[in-house]
Structure 1
Amino acid sequence: MSGTSFTVNYGGKSLSGTINADMTTRATVGGETSTGKAVLSEGGQRLTLTWDDGSPSDVFTRK
């Protein structure tokens, strides 16, 4: 796998980005780009995006 793209819509905003095979992440929201690391846990049911700039992590859970 070379990577995958994603889009998350929330509160009238849209976050789009990529997760590479080495789990590095690059995302853009409101014209601002951030980089970080993606971590899967709970048997692939939980995705945590941790940002290099120290912003709070974003956590997504599959229901």
Structure 2
Amino acid sequence: MSLDDLITIEQLVEAYPRILTVPTLRWQLRHRDTNGLGHACVRVGKKLLIHRPSYERWLPTRGGAI
């Protein structure tokens, strides 16, 4: 996992504004332990970072597509 691929919620939403909103992404992350997204998350202190390539692989498995 490259550190360059770790991004914030806001950065991910900014990258995909047509399909993601902050509330949608926060909901997905809040349920990451049950929806399989936990592997794409890294906690650094209080900040939760998302591994962008892992999120992009996960999203189509949930019925969405990029």
* TM-score, normalization by structure 1: 0.30
Q: Which has the larger radius of gyration?
A: 1
Pick the structure with more helix per residue. Answer: 2
* TM-score, normalization by structure 2: 0.30
Structure number with higher relative contact order (C-alpha < 8 Å, ≥ 6 residues apart): 2
